[in-house]
Amino acid sequence: MKCLVTGAAGFIGSHVAERLLKDGHTVVGIDRFSDYYDPALKRSNAEDLLENSGFELAVRDLAIDQISDLLGGVDVVFHLAAQAGVRASWGESFDRYVDDNIRATQRLLEAVKDRRIDKFLYASTSSVYGDAEKFPTPEDVRPRPVSPYGVTKLAAEHLCNLYQRNYGVPVVAVRYFTVYGPRQRPDMAFRRFIDALLGGWEIDVYGDGGQTRDFTYVSDAVDATLRAAFSPEATGVFNVGGGSQIALRDAISVLEELIGKEAILNFTDPVAGDSRDTSADTSRAAAELKYRPSVDLASGLANQVAWQRGLGD
């Protein structure tokens, strides 16, 4: 199959592209190499992909550039491009979230709406739930985001639904719960914690560290993504969690054990936009996609630690 992956040079997008190539698909990647974090990291992700002859890369901004020349023969669209991060989504940078999350999605949907594609997969987020009214949280609770980021991601989910209803775009959405593993974004907690432990400096913990997250190892997130995209019947929204809800300070203990050092913790004020807890009810993905997360937290973190150690060599 020919697959279009937006955000292909990013954390999860590069893993999705890599797995698709490994499975024998061809991939057209789109990325604007935004400077939300060091674009050199994204270039390195893309370089690895470009070594595969089945991969081509287009440096485009979905919110501005035309992409119709890239869509010929595309069977499946994986839309992972976004401006991620809850904490940075307040204030003036909100414009960027509107462009990369809402406008980019609307323009992509416009570009594909008259074409025959098998599936349009939208990468959504647990951040649409905000402080959810129920744990584990099923897909059908009323989403009430607590960050501007969550609002833009939910708006884009609604756009996907509109294009499905009005133009028959075959949409499926996955709501990822905190994804981790090699190539994790530098603003994300585990990436920062591991760097701090390896470097021997303080870890900034937002709030009291008692907040819990359902952490999902990246290969599990990718597996669920491909299952949703390649299942002809899959439609609507699927939670994608890792099955390991844990408090942040307990996750730090796991890292201390793996790295063999004691963390120096600096507790700061809670940050606006962070949900207190997340926990995915993945029964829909289990029943309809046969999704079973297979990497436990200690093994997944061991892989991420090994990768981050390698970056320092």
Residue 84 found at the interface with ligand NAD (CB under 6 A): yes
Contacts of 45 (CB under 8 A, 6+ apart): 9, 10, 11, 14, 183
Which residue in 67, 82, 86, 132 binds ligand NAD (CB under 6 A)?
Answer: 82
Binding of ligand NAD by 31 (CB under 6 A): yes
Q: Enumerate residues 6+ apart whose C-beta is below 8 A from 88.
A: 36, 149, 187
By beta-carbon proximity to ligand NAD, the closer residue of 36 and 193 is 36
Residue number with CB closer to ligand NAD (11 or 230): 11
Min CB(101)–ligand NAD separation in Å: 7
By CB under 6 A, is residue 153 in contact with ligand NAD?
A: yes
Place of tokens 């600096």: 266
What beta strand segments (E) does 100-187 contain? 119-125, 171-176, 179-180
Sequential DSSP letters for 38-63: -HHHHHHHHHHHHTSTTEEEEE--TT
Among 3, 4, 12, 289, binds ligand NAD (CB under 6 A): 12
Q: Which of 123, 98, 121, 120 is nearest to 167 (CA)?
A: 120
Q: Given CA atoms 192, 131, 242, 224 in this order, what sign does their dihedral have?
A: negative
Q: Which of 89, 105, 152, 178 binds ligand NAD (CB under 6 A)?
A: 178
Q: Is the Cβ of residue 32 or residue 119 nearer to ligand NAD in the bound state?
A: 32
245 binds ligand NAD (CB under 6 A): no
Question: CA-to-CA distance for 182 and 298, rounded, in angstroms?
Answer: 14
Minimum Å distance from CB 238 to ligand NAD? 13
In the complex, the smallest distance separating the C-beta of residue 30 from ligand NAD, rounded to whole angstroms, is: 5
Q: How far is the CB of 84 from ligand NAD (least distance, A)?
A: 4
Which residue's CB is nearer to ligand NAD, number 119 or number 153? 153
Contact status: 34 vs ligand NAD (CB under 6 A) = yes
The SS3 of residue 166 is: helix
Residue 83 touches ligand NAD, criterion: CB under 6 A: yes
Count CB neighbours of 15 within 10 A.
22
- Residue 285 interacting with ligand NAD (CB under 6 A): no
DSSP percent split of the chain into helix, strand, coil, nearest 5: 40, 20, 40
Q: Is 42 in the site for ligand NAD (CB under 6 A)?
A: yes
139 binds ligand NAD (CB under 6 A): no
Least Å distance, CB 264 to ligand NAD, is 25
Q: Which stretch binds ligand NAD (CB under 6 A): 60-68, 190-198, 267-275, 300-308?
A: 60-68
Task: Determine the residue with CB nearest ligand NAD.
Answer: 10
Please say if 176 is a catalytic residue.
no
Distance from the first to the final alpha carbon of the chain: 38
In whole angstroms, give the CA distance from residue 98 to residue 82. Answer: 10
Asked if 179 is part of the footprint of ligand NAD (rule: CB under 6 A), the reply reads yes
Q: What is the DSSP letter of 271?
A: P
Q: Which is nearer to ligand NAD, 11 or 193 (CB)?
A: 11
Residues 209/244, Cβ–Cβ less than 8 Å: no
Q: How far apart are CA 164 and CA 107, in angstroms?
A: 14
Q: Given the residues 97, 122, 129, 149, select the one marked as catalytic.
A: 149
Catalytic residue ranges? 149
**Residues at the contact surface with ligand NAD, assessed by CB under 6 A:** 6-7, 9-13, 30-34, 36, 42, 61-63, 80-84, 100, 104, 123, 125, 153, 176, 178-179, 185
